[in-house]
Structure 1
Amino acid sequence: MANEIVKFNNQFNNVALKGFTSQELNLLITIASKLKEKEGEKVTFDFFDLKKYIKLNKNETTKEFIKNVMNVNKKLLKINFTFYNQNKIIQFALFKSFVIDTDLQTLEVSVNDEFLFLLNELTSNFTRFELEEFVKFKSTYTKEFYRRMKQFRHTGVWKISIDDFNRLLGISESYKISDIDKRVFQPILSELGEKYNLKIIKKYSKKTGRGRSSVSGFEFHFKKENRRVVEQENLEEIKQAGFDIEKVREHKIKEKIQKEEKNRINKVSDFYLYRKVKMYDSFYEQYNYLEILAFNQKNDKLNVKIRNVDDGYVQDFTFDSFKNFENWFRKYAI
């Protein structure tokens, strides 16, 4: 188990797993680690192996263990899973099937098809950590903090508002900042502070009138991981999973180019919004005056929504790149 790696898309960190016990979180993350890169196939867990992975030391009957396993899925079913993938907003249950065999003492699980991208897409946008370290933590707050801290392992800094922090870690709305210090940060610092050189900085809102400034968010600083070492470990994992390294590299290069193009569009698109162009319509033998309304990057193409000023007709113009659009704009701009 020492080398068992948990890996999932960062969007999974946006889901608040409120009400889960420490053991239930161990079960969920263990199952997730075994389902990664399985392309939706069913995976069977033996109760003995599951107990070993979550380091279940207490004497628990099979009936009690089954109840805990069932509670994981029951609580997941109550969560409204919402993820944003390109232009889609996806809501679904996490597991497509969750079958417990009390005679064989096994659990058979398959992931909902809509969730596959969170466990199977090999991109740079993922959280990675060791399962063994995760299950050792006693506090549920530490577990939930740890997996989100690992999302920022390359920078060593995580900034978040107090409202989002409380939501993600399932902190009671009745907690004052003194309660968070004692019941949330104290166990986190106890279990993570020394190893990760964790520092917690409170951010305060500006004072209004005579009132005292209040905590508006947190900034966490911790030991960052060496990017080159991590990338090499990722390549080894990819090899073991049977993927073609060169194809994965090509995918990453393509993804980087797409990301740079998208960032470029976001930075300069405002300059072009509501600008007008003039194009000659040879069929009607007249000029059309067109207004740029919006930009949308899709499938390596740039879609530009344009409205005819005269009749209000809206249509999409498609360009191979933002540079092609800029050349077109310079040609017809007024």
Structure 2
Amino acid sequence: MATDINGKELKHNDLAIYGNKLNEMTFPKFSSIEMNLFWAVASQISNQDRRGGIYDYQEITFTFKELATLTGLKSRSANRLAKYLKEIMDKLDKAALISETDVKGQPYKFYKFNIFPGFEADAETKKLTVQINPKALPYLTKLTENFTVYDLEKFFGLKSKYSKTLYRIISQYPKFGWVTQDREKLCELLGVPKSYRSSKHFNLFTSRILDPAVEELKPIFKGLKYELITEKKGKGRPTITAIKFTFQRFKPPYTSLTQKKELKEKDADAKNSNDSSKIFKPKIKSDRKKKSNNKNNKSQNQPNESNGLNLLQDFMK
């Protein structure tokens, strides 16, 4: 179980939840396991207690055992694991969030920062402590809209690093059923080798990277397929400008951070109801169920305007 700087155990998250802006991050030369480590750390920051701990000190600590369980790291000695973590942390220095505002008539703005600026791996205590950039907290905590959510177990289960990135991109658009990515932007996000990006060798990108990634994701996203968007200029051959992915619309694990608590409460109520039904007569049980259904029907006819996620919540109904 991850802990804060005071040693307080943090709630374990089975879902990755973060601001959509983080989907624009690139992970140059990252392996599948290294991606697992980054998102394992990021996911455990979300939805924690906002009083003290992780919010005051911006640190989170994992045991080596937990990291191995979360990320699929192979069994190795504490010394070897600590040295391997150092190699990964050196790569994480290059994984930065970049934002640029270049709009005509407006002042130019640019910023770049690392999500996790500091690490400490100790083979003696068998723990990894990660520092969290305060500027990153708005993208990892207190999220009510414009966020991505997905199942960590499914993410960790994917073998290809390209599949993992595409999984995150698609998970951002559950209610649309499609997403179009600029060709160069997609290649950058996926970390495609430069030799595959040219029009002359683009078939290598589709056959060796895109096709296998889509095939691996088909069991998760029903009906997933892609098409190449082309544009013809002059008398030359059409140029591939974008890739459009289509899939069946799906329900994300939940639509807001508060809904997770509501779902747990409903599960608890249902369990209690099933346990208590043993001491009631069938007729009484049926009446209670009918009243509950009527109440649910009334609530479904009333739009929820409490958290600014009306469109997504309407879709979930």
TM-score, structure 2 as length reference = 0.69
Percent of paired sites with the same residue:
27
Matched, 1:71 2:87: yes
1:252 equivalent in structure 2: 307
- Secondary structure at the counterpart of residue 155 of structure 1: coil
Matched, 1:45 2:62: yes
2:7 equivalent in structure 1: none
Q: 1:207 to 1:122 in 2, by over 3 A?
A: same
2:78 equivalent in structure 1: 62
User: How many equivalent pairs are there?
Assistant: 243
Counterpart mapping for 1:137-176 below 5 A:
137-175=158-196, 176=201
1:198 equivalent in structure 2: 224
Contact 1:123 1:252 in 2 (8 A): yes
Q: 1:69 to 1:237 in 2, by over 3 A?
A: farther
Q: CA deviation at 1:36?
A: 1.6
Q: Which amino acid aligns with 1:235?
A: Q
Q: Which amino acid aligns with 2:228?
A: K
Q: 1:238 to 1:65 in 2, by over 3 A?
A: farther
- Secondary structure at the counterpart of residue 162 of structure 2: helix
Q: CA deviation at 1:232?
A: 7.0
From 214, 217, 224, the equivalent of 2:249 is 224
Matched, 1:128 2:144: no
- Secondary structure at the counterpart of residue 95 of structure 1: coil
Q: 1:250 to 1:222 in 2, by over 3 A?
A: closer
Q: Which amino acid aligns with 2:61?
A: T
Q: CA deviation at 1:233?
A: 7.4
Q: CA deviation at 1:44?
A: 1.2
1:316 equivalent in structure 2: none
Give distance in 1, aligned partners of 2:263 and 2:135: 25
Give distance in 1, aligned partners of 2:176 and 2:29: 30
Greater strand share, 1 or 2?
1
Q: Which amino acid aligns with 2:241?
A: S
Give distance in 2, aligned partners of 1:251 and 1:71: 45
Deviations 1:65-113 (A, max 9, x none): 223322332112124432369x974322222431111101101123111
Q: 1:7 to 1:179 in 2, by over 3 A?
A: same
Q: Which amino acid aligns with 1:13?
A: N
Q: 1:65 to 1:154 in 2, by over 3 A?
A: farther
2:271 equivalent in structure 1: none
C-alpha RMSD of matched pairs (Å): 2.8
Contact 1:24 1:71 in 2 (8 A): no
1:180 equivalent in structure 2: 205
Matched, 1:101 2:122: yes
Q: 1:224 to 1:69 in 2, by over 3 A?
A: farther
Q: Which amino acid aligns with 1:203?
A: I
1:112 equivalent in structure 2: 133
- Secondary structure at the counterpart of residue 175 of structure 2: coil
Q: Which runs of 5+ in 1 are unaligned?
A: 241-248, 257-334
1:30 equivalent in structure 2: 40
Contact 2:68 2:75 in 1 (8 A): no
Contact 2:144 2:256 in 1 (8 A): no
Q: CA deviation at 1:155?
A: 1.1
Q: Which amino acid aligns with 1:208?
A: G
Q: CA deviation at 1:206?
A: 1.4
From 97, 105, 112, the equivalent of 1:81 is 97
Q: Which amino acid aligns with 1:184?
A: I
Q: 1:92 to 1:98 in 2, by over 3 A?
A: same
Q: 1:79 to 1:181 in 2, by over 3 A?
A: same
Give distance in 2, aligned partners of 1:153 and 1:130: 13
2:22 equivalent in structure 1: 12
- Secondary structure at the counterpart of residue 193 of structure 2: coil
1:236 equivalent in structure 2: 260
